[in-house]
């Protein structure tokens, strides 16, 4: 397995980086596309040092603090959707609250877990077709509907039909959560983190995810014991808030190179800018020899010379 092209460029091993890129793209090492990619990577490494701090909380030009907060927040909101009420306590709810037998309660809970597994597989197929931002929004909207419906249906347990109908919304919740809020928060945190602080940001975001997972597991029995069905309303409100947060602050990263994501944040001057910039920033062209005219010719020529690739003719 070859070394990362970015690492090779960082170590000034341009010829080796060209070979690695050529292998990844299934192109000749002297391809114009490879030369353009080398130029892009080289520039991204220069831009990486715009923020000279290695702290994820630094107020740098490439917005370390902003990106760290986005990465942590998306993981916190995912866990605060309330999904673990279902995954941890569904059997107890079906048996003690909805009145099903222990056997039936376990069968339904097993079906829910299988359903969640299937939905997570569907998410893998959708993430690069639909995009991260749309799936985050879909997940939050679905969880808002599910938790609101569960609160309403379980507010009057004397109505057995309404209580039984609530099972449908448990399946709704375990469809929308894995579609938009299960895998994507981890992926998104890694994608938006600058290379220099990526390990720190992903570690903090993953820790936040599991910390709030633990929190929900601990407080849920107390919540149901004290406020019963109203406990769902807390998560309905949090999910509604998450819809607004994802819409206003989370740019789409689908199809973007790491260098383009850096550029989105470098161009941003406020927390509201990344979404607008991501919508308007052109995607990297499928560069050909003709397409190289749109790049900085001097930089491309310099990179090709350092890599021993010769000049584009």
DSSP character string of 258-306: HHHHHHHHHS--STTHHHHHHHHSPPPP---TTGGGGS-HHHHHHHHHH
pLDDT at residue 174 tops 60: yes
pLDDT at residue 52 tops 70: no
Share of the chain above pLDDT 70, in %: 88
Q: Which residue has the higher pLDDT, 292 or 196?
A: 196
Q: What is the mean pLDDT of the chain?
A: 88
- What pLDDT, on the 0 to 100 scale, is given for residue 291? 45
The mean-pLDDT minimum among 54-68, 169-183, 241-255 falls in: 54-68
Buried b (16+ CB within 10 A) or exposed e, 7-32: ebbeeebbebbbbbbbeeeeeebebb
pLDDT at residue 24 tops 90: no
pLDDT at residue 63 tops 50: yes
- What pLDDT, on the 0 to 100 scale, is given for residue 161? 85
Sign of the C-alpha dihedral, residues 35, 40, 46, 49? negative
Average pLDDT rounded to a whole number, residues 86-106: 93
Average pLDDT rounded to a whole number, residues 248-269: 92
The mean-pLDDT minimum among 143-152, 157-166, 237-246, 273-282 falls in: 157-166
Cα 146 from chain centroid?
Answer: 22
pLDDT at residue 178 tops 70: yes
Average pLDDT rounded to a whole number, residues 250-261: 91
- What pLDDT, on the 0 to 100 scale, is given for residue 296? 46
């Amino acid at each position: 397995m070859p070394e990362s092209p970015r690492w090779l460029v960082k170590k000034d091993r341009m010829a080796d980086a060209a070979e690695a890129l050529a292998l990844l793209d299934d192109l000749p090492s002297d391809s114009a596309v490879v030369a353009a990619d080398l130029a892009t990577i080289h520039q991204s490494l220069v831009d990486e040092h715009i923020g000279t701090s290695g702290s994820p909380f630094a107020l740098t030009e490439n917005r370390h603090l902003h990106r760290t907060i986005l990465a942590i927040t998306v993981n916190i909101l995912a866990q605060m959707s309330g999904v673990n009420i279902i995954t941890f306590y569904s059997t107890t709810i079906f048996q003690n609250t909805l009145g099903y037998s222990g056997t039936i309660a376990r069968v339904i809970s097993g079906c829910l877990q299988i359903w969640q597994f299937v939905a997570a597989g569907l998410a893998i197929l959708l993430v690069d077709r639909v995009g991260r931002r749309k799936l985050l929004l879909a997940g939050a909207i679905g969880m808002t509907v599910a938790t609101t419906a569960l609160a309403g249906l379980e507010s009057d347990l004397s109505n057995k039909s309404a209580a039984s109908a609530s099972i449908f919304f448990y399946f709704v919740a375990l469809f929308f959560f894995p579609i938009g809020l299960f895998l994507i928060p981890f992926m998104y945190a890694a994608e938006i983190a600058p290379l220099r602080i990526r390990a720190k940001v992903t570690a903090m975001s993953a820790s936040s995810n599991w910390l709030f997972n633990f929190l929900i597991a601990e407080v849920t029995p107390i919540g149901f014991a004290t406020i019963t069905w109203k406990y769902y309303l807390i998560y309905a409100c949090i999910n509604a808030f998450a819809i607004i947060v994802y819409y206003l602050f989370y740019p789409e990263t689908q199809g973007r190179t790491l260098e383009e994501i850096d550029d989105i944040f470098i161009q941003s001057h406020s927390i509201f800018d990344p979404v607008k910039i991501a919508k308007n920033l052109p995607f990297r062209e499928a560069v050909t020899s003709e397409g190289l005219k749109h790049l900085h010719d001097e930089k491309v020529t310099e990179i090709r010379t350092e890599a021993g690739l010769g000049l584009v003719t």
